[in-house]
Amino acid sequence: MLNIVLFGPPGAGKGTQSAKLIHAYQLVHLSTGDIFRANIKGGTELGTLAKSYMDQGQLVPDEVTIRMLESEANKSPDAKGYIFDGFPRTPAQAKALDQFLATKNTSITMMLALEVEEDELRKRLLLRGKDSGRADDIDPAVIQKRIDVYRNETEPVRDFYQEQKKYFGIDGIGSVDEIFERLCAVINSELSPDSYRDQN
Ligand code: AMP
């Protein structure tokens, strides 16, 4: 299996690049942010709980997030691999993900980390807020909180994969296609390209 953690701060382009990568490599996209938003839209109990954290730019508790991610992954038992987008966001989530994948006799292949500086993130998120109307992209204080939470709680996840020699940093500045090519170059250099990439 090809299991990729697509990592980076809010606004780094994880969602945009995930959409292209799942197509190119025939992977299942698991975005915890998207799943929470679908629950909010559907008016579920999980959605109500998640919203109370998301609206403040805080992380939804690990236990809830891990359980949800596992049940979502179990919906695609025949997947050739997964892209984890916005997960893991804490070391506890990273450990839980390793344990979960081990029960399926697989593991994370690599972490691809999109690197974008803070000023650029703030600009991108405010712009996205205007277009998408995402509540957590509209208020500059909530945007700043999410960036701070990323630095304090999520960045340590990088060390977790660095210790496993699975970490790859990628310049996240440039056009969508340029960044996509950088991601593909790393993936292909780690894998035999013919076995995974859909060339058509
Ligand atoms: P995202 O769409 O990835 O930017 O996530 C939006 C919000 O959903 C975050 O600011 C968190 O409140 C919540 N969220 C998404 N993924 C996670 C996660 N792995 N752990 C905790 N909270 C999460």
Which residues are 111's β-sheet partners?
A: 5, 167
Could you report the per-residue pLDDT of 25-46, keeping only the tens digit for each? Answer: 999 999 999 999 999 999 999 9
Write down the pLDDT at residue 193: 54
Q: Is 37 a catalytic residue?
A: no
**Domains of the chain and any CATH numbers:** 2-27+79-196 (3.40.50.300)
Could you report the per-residue pLDDT of 90-106, keeping only the tens digit for each? Answer: 999 999 999 999 999 99
Ligand 1 within 6 A of CB of 86: yes
Question: Residue 30: helix, strand or coil by DSSP?
Answer: strand
* Cα separation, 97 vs 88, whole angstroms: 7
Amino acid, res. 178: E
DSSP string across 125-183: HHHHHHHH--GGGT-HHHHHHHHHHIIIIITHHHHHHHHTT-EEEEE--S-HHHHHHHH
* Cα separation, 177 vs 55, whole angstroms: 31
Kindly give the number of the ligand 1 atom that is closest to the alpha carbon of 31: 3
Give me 41's structure tokens.
């839209």
Q: Is 146 a catalytic residue?
A: yes
Write down the pLDDT at residue 134: 84
How much is the average pLDDT of 42-62?
A: 97
Could you report the per-residue pLDDT of 168-187, keeping only the tens digit for each? Answer: 999 999 999 999 999 999 99
